[in-house]
C-alpha cells in the first residue's frame, strides 16, 4: 500500500514510541516474513537490543539498533507497524511481536503477507540499498538525473517511474498524480519525454510527495490506531486523478480515464495529458 509519503509518516510516528526502548523478546509468527533468517536466529539477535533511531530509505523503514544491526522493514501492500498497550489483543494477521521494556508491544501485521523484515549489519546497509535510485529530496535527484535516466529507458514513462532503481518512492498513486501535474501522457516512451517536460515532471514529483507528507502530518499520525487508518487519510481526498475514473478533471473538465498498463491501473486526464 504505502508509497514514500506514507512510509515517511510511519517512520516519523514510530520514532517517539520506539527510540530509546529496548526489546525484551521478539516472536515471529510467520517465518516467511524473514527472507534470510529463521525465527529463532532473528529473535536471538533482537533480544535485549535498544532502538537508536528510525529512518526511511525509499519505501524501506530502517530501525537502527544498538548492536550494530538495523532492522529493515518493507510494508509492501498491506503491512502495518503498530504500538499496542499491554492489554490490547493482537490484531488479525500479526506476524511479528516485539515486547518492549515499557510493557507495550511493537507489532508487524500484514493481511496480504507480502511484507518483509530483515536484520542487516550497519556496514552492509549501503550495499543493501545499492540498487535504489537517489532519494527524491536529495541533491542527487536532480532534473538532470531524471533526464538521463528517462533517456536510457525503453519502457513507458509510467513503468519507468515505478521502477525503484530509476526513481524511488513513487507507486501507482503518486506516479499518476505526478504525471498529471506535469501534464504528460503515462503511455509515452520515457526516452521521448522532452527536456522541458522532464523538468516539469521533476518538480511535480517533489510537489506531490511533499504535499502528501504535509497533509498527512497534520493528521497526527498515530500507530496506536489499530485500524491502520493513519496512512495518508487526509490526502486521499486530494488525489487529482487516481481512483477518479469517470469523474471530471479539476483542470479542464474532461472525464478521467483508467487504462491497464503493465497489469495495473493507470489514471489520467485524456485532455491534459495528450502527449
Partner DNA sequence: ACCCTCACCTGCACGC
Partner DNA sequence: TGCGTGCAGGTGAGGG
Please report, as ranges, the residues that interact with DNA according to CB under 7 A: 1-3, 6, 32, 58-59, 74, 76-77, 92-93, 111-114, 152-155, 159, 162, 164, 171-173, 231-232, 236, 260, 262-265
Computed on alpha carbons and rounded to an integer, the radius of gyration of the chain in Å comes to 20
- Rounded CA gap, 111 and 95, in Å? 9
Nearer to DNA, 2 or 186 (CB): 2
Q: Which residues pair with residue 99 across a beta bridge?
A: 25, 105
**Closest to 267 measured CA to CA, from 236, 243, 249, 247:** 243
- Report in angstroms how near the CB of residue 97 gets to DNA at its nearest: 18
Residue 127 exposed, middle or buried by CB count within 10 Å (0-12, 13-18, 19+): exposed
Alpha-carbon gap, residue 104 to 51, rounded angstroms: 14
The answer to whether residue 131 is catalytic is: no
| Catalytic pick among 5, 6, 8, 59 | 59
Phi, psi of 61 (to 5 degrees): -100, 130
d(CA 53, CA 50): 9
CA distances from 218 to 1, 82, 134, 174, 222 (A): 20, 19, 27, 19, 11
Looking at beta carbons only, is 22 or 149 nearer to DNA?
149
The residue among 17 and 93 lying less far from DNA, judged by its C-beta, is: 93
The catalytic residue among 2, 136, 186, 223 is 2
**Which lies closer to DNA via its Cβ, residue 24 or residue 78?**
78
173 φ, ψ (degrees, to nearest 5):
-75, -60
Nearest approach in angstroms of CB 260 to DNA is 7
- Residue 237, CA atoms < 13 Å, CB-side half-sphere: 3
Give min distance, CB of 140 to DNA, in A. 18
Task: For residue 264, indicate whether it is catalytic.
Answer: yes
Among the listed residues 32, 152, 264, 275, the single catalytic one is: 264
Q: How far is the CB of 142 from DNA (least distance, A)?
A: 20
Q: How far is the CB of 136 from DNA (least distance, A)?
A: 13
Smaller CB separation from DNA, 49 or 175: 175
Report the catalytic residues: 2-3, 59, 264
Amino acid at each position: 500500500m504505502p508509497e514514500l509519503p506514507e512510509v515517511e509518516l510511519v517512520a516519523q510516528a514510530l520514532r517517539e514510541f520506539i527510540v530509546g526502548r529496548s526489546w525484551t523478546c521478539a516472536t515471529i509468527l510467520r517465518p516467511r516474513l524473514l527472507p534470510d533468517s529463521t525465527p529463532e536466529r532473528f529473535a536471538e539477535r533482537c533480544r535485549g537490543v535498544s532502538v537508536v533511531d528510525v529512518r526511511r530509505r525509499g519505501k524501506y523503514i530502517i530501525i537502527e539498533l544498538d548492536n550494530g544491526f538495523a532492522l529493515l522493514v518493507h510494508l509492501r501492500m498491506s503491512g502495518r507497524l503498530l504500538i499496542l498497550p499491554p492489554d490490547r489483543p493482537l490484531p488479525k494477521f500479526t506476524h511479528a511481536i516485539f515486547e518492549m521494556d515499557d510493557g507495550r508491544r511493537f507489532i508487524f501485521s500484514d493481511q496480504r503477507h507480502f511484507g518483509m523484515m530483515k536484520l542487516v549489519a550497519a556496514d552492509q546497509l549501503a550495499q543493501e540499498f545499492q540498487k535504489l535510485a537517489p532519494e527524491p529530496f536529495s541533491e542527487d535527484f536532480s532534473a538532470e538525473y531524471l533526464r538521463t535516466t528517462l533517456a536510457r529507458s525503453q519502457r513507458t514513462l509510467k513503468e519507468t517511474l515505478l521502477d525503484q532503481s530509476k526513481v524511488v518512492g513513487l507507486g501507482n498513486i503518486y506516479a499518476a498524480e505526478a504525471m498529471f501535474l506535469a501534464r504528460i501522457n503515462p503511455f509515452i516512451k520515457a526516452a521521448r519525454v522532452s527536456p522541458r517536460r522532464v523538468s516539469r515532471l521533476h518538480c511535480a514529483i517533489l510537489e506531490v510527495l511533499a504535499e502528501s507528507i504535509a497533509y498527512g502530518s497534520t493528521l497526527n499520525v498515530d500507530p496506536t490506531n489499530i485500524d491502520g487508518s493513519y496512512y495518508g487519510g487526509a490526502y486521499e481526498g486530494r488525489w487529482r486523478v487516481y481512483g477518479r475514473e469517470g469523474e471530471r478533471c479539476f483542470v479542464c473538465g474532461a472525464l478521467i480515464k483508467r487504462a491497464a498498463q503493465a497489469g495495473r491501473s493507470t489514471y489520467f486526464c485524456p485532455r491534459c495529458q495528450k502527449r
